[in-house]
Amino acid sequence: MAKKFFAEFFGTFALVFAGTGAIVIDEVSGGAVTHVGIALTFGLIVLAMVYTLGDISGAHINPAVTISFFVARRFPGSNVLPYIISQCAGAIGASAVLRVLFPQNAMLGATIPAGSSLQSFVLEFILSALLMFVILGVSTGAREKGITAGIVVGSVIALEAMFAGPICGASMNPARSLGPALVSLHLQSLWIYLLAPTVGASIGVIACRCVREPGCCSSAGQYGLQ
């Protein structure tokens, strides 16, 4: 189990370090990375982590995904909190490293609504529901692994970040938003990015049950241990 928890720590560290690092470097370099580059960075790092860690921990690297796998009866409740703690610790660690590397950057890639709080909440809710719907369709039990899983999940994250990022930040991941918010002390909108992805991803579980064949999210694939 320790290997699984470390895998979630390292995977989330890599996600936040690369993804928010792309945002920070884009800012300090005057736009060299570009918005499209940032979106692709998020997608590609998730793709890499799915293929690297999927057979160890399932490569959740997202508390909303872990909770939703539990809601879908694919993941044991006893592992939910350790997974979430590992993910949040990895995100905070990555943001701390970015603070040391770029002390002049105020935001560290924190997710802040460009419009109203309601607008960003709804966007994060829908984006997270779509993401979890896709994850359930390509995962085995509670594990994001297989020939296509990394490509599909990474592509969806890049796509959603590409079109929604300028408005809501397209976090879809409470840990990804928690790390930069805590280290940069920009906590005013953090509740949006903790609540909306978690609720939205859980709704994605219901959507999966509605449109896929019976047993998609049932206990037949419970815990992904078979």
Helix (H) or strand (E) holding 64: helix 63-71
Report how far apart, in Å, the C-alpha atoms of 152 and of each of 136, 139, 193 are: 11, 10, 23
User: In DSSP terms, which residues pair with 140 in a beta bridge?
Assistant: 143
% of the chain with per-residue pLDDT over 90: 83
Stretch 39-58: mean pLDDT: 95
Task: Give residue 27's identity as a one-letter amino acid code.
Answer: E
Integer Cα distance of 57 and 44 in angstroms:
19
The C-alpha angle 17, 49, 185, rounded to 5 degrees, equals: 25
Stretch 134-150: mean pLDDT: 80
Instruction: Indicate if the pLDDT at residue 114 is higher than 60.
Output: yes
Give CATH superfamily name and number for 2-224: Glycerol uptake facilitator protein. (1.20.1080.10)
% of the chain with per-residue pLDDT over 70: 92
Instruction: Indicate if the pLDDT at residue 99 is higher than 90.
Output: yes
| 161-172: b (≥16 Cβ within 10 Å) or e | bbebbeebbbbb
Question: Token digits for 12?
Answer: 């989330």
Question: Token digits for 152?
Answer: 């599909």
Per-residue pLDDT at 211:
82
pLDDT in tens, 180-221: 999 999 999 999 999 999 999 999 999 988 887 565 545 433
Stretch 11-40: mean pLDDT: 97
Stretch 146-171: mean pLDDT: 94
> What is the DSSP code (8-state) at residue 220?
G
Per-residue pLDDT at 21:
98
Instruction: Indicate if the pLDDT at residue 76 is higher than 60.
Output: yes
Q: How confident is the model at residue 147 (pLDDT cuts 50, 70, 90)?
A: confident
Q: Chain-wide mean pLDDT for the chain?
A: 92
CB 96 within 8 A of CB 122: no
Domain residue ranges in the chain: 2-224
Residue keyed to tokens 């609720």:
199
Stretch 18-28: mean pLDDT: 98
Residue 140, phi then psi, degrees to nearest 5: -115, 110
Question: Token digits for 61?
Answer: 């690297």
Per-residue pLDDT at 222:
38
* Neighbouring residues of 7: CB distance < 8 A, sequence distance ≥ 6: 53, 56, 57, 59
Residue keyed to tokens 């970040």:
161
pTM for this structure? 0.90
